[in-house]
Structure formats: structure tokens, C-alpha cells
Amino acid sequence: MIEAARELGVAVDRIKFTPPITHVYNPLDYARPAHEAYLKKFGNSRKRVVFLGMNPGPFGMVQTGVPFGEIAVVRAWMRLEAAIGKPRREHPKRPVKGFACPRSEVSGKRLWGLFADRFGSAENFFADYFVVNYCPLALFDRNGRNLTPDKLPARQAMPLFAVCDRHLRRAIEILQPEWLIGIGEFAGKRARLLLAEVEANRNPPLTPPGRGTERRGRVRGSLPGRGWGWVYRRSAAERSCQCGPLLARRQDGARQVRSRC
């Protein structure tokens, strides 16, 4: 995963962005020690489930180098901390203060808080689960407004998505998960597109599974951005789920992810 992340960091650095994007933050570059510590500690084995986020948040991965990297969680729950550098061109309204940043990443607090409540220790969670971002870049306009990848014009999105798709495919090959779950509509869509491509190129093509079986790499869908703890508990209690939010069993016995987005 570390080698794949380094290749991704170099590839996205080659992409040229134009207005309205004026500032590009690449945590795989300036926060490399922290990101690689995350990969080395928690991403060094096969996973049953991979959760896919969209891109770094201004007070999460932008500051810590960890996906959804709420500072308190990264430091206390994951027990990770490293020196964080500066992006090549820093916006005055979007300073990178690393682990000294006083702001909280709301989405990260929700997500990691859910997993901490459910699994207890980080080691218990990461034994079978992992979290990655689809895009490693944070993008801002001249006013410091956060421009997420789903809002990019096609001419700028296409080269970025091509690089990110390649890395996601590589990450799935390395981690070999049974489930790929998008966190939010955009990530769910990118996961579905990738898995559809993988299946289309498979020779021989996948055949329908027998009753009660699972299809590796066939899970797709999205986890909503609000009420995650409630959704997880409801799924586990009422749908007899074994490994994640919004998982359900179809009538034919196969499992799928249902999106509530």
C-alpha cells in the first residue's frame, strides 16, 4: 500500500488544475510520514471490508494525513502522530497546522467514533476493516472554498478520476476485500463503476453464487453521511449483518449493499 500511495502522490502532482481551483493540497506529499505510518500499521494485511471516502477534509486528512483524520482519534485511538509539513502553496484561509490544529473533522469524528464504539480498539477494527479515500487531494478556490471532486468540471475531473481509479484498483488488488463500501453517494458511484469494470474484464465472467455464498469484490453501495451509529446498529440488529453498515441479504441468498442516500 505504501508503494501504491507513493505512485498515486506522484501521479496527481502531474495534473494541472485551472480556475476555479487555485490551491491544491496533497497530503501524500507534505504529510507522507503520517500517512505511511497509517498504512504500515493498519494496511499491511488482507481486509474483509474496505470503506471508501471521497477526498481529504480540511480538518481531517489535510491536517493528519489519515483518511477522515479527526486529530483526537488519530492521536489517542490509532496512536499515530508525526510531523506534518506544508502544501506547496498554502491558502491563508486554509492553514495546515498538523496535529496542532484546533478544529475538529466532523465526518471523521462520526465515522471513527462509530467504529470505536463498535469494535473497542483500533486493532480490533483494522484486523478486518480499512478506510481509504478515492482522491488524495484537497482543492480550494481563491476564497478558500472547498471544492470536492464531485463538483469538478469534466475537463478537470477526467484526468484526476483516471489516476484515482487506477489507485483504487491497485488497493483492492492488494487488500483483496470481500466488501467495498462507499461512504457517500460519490464514493459509492466510483466503487460501482470500478467493480463493474473489473467484472466485465473477468474471464470467465462471474456466475451467480449459490445460496448463502458471497461474491468477492461484488459489494457496492454507499453509507450515508448522517446517523451512522444508528444505521450500523439497526443493520446489525434487524438484518443480522456480520460485517458492516447497510448490508442486507437478497432473496437469492447473496449479499448486497443498500444505499439510503
- What is the pTM (predicted TM-score) of this model? 0.80
Contact between 24 and 160 (Cβ < 8 Å): no
Based on the structure, what is the number of domains in the chain? 1
Residue type, 98: G
| Residues forming beta bridges with residue 256, ordered by sequence position | 248
Does residue 154 form part of some domain?
yes
Each residue's pLDDT expressed in tens, for the chain with a length of 261 residues: 999 999 999 999 999 999 999 999 999 999 999 999 999 999 999 999 999 999 999 999 999 999 999 999 999 999 999 999 999 999 999 999 999 999 999 999 999 999 999 999 999 999 999 999 999 999 999 999 999 999 999 999 999 999 999 999 999 999 999 889 999 999 999 998 888 877 676 555 444 333 333 334 433 444 444 444 433 333 433 333 333 333 322 233 333 433 333
Does residue 101 form part of some domain?
yes
Q: The domain that contains 67 carries what CATH number?
A: 3.40.470.10
Sign of the CA dihedral 1, 98, 56, 152?
negative
Question: Half-sphere exposure of 112 toward its Cβ, with a 13 Å CA cutoff?
Answer: 27
Q: Domain containing 140: what range?
A: 2-202+210-230
Closest CA to 138 of 6, 44, 31, 232: 31
Per-residue cell: 1: 500500500
Does residue 238 form part of some domain?
no
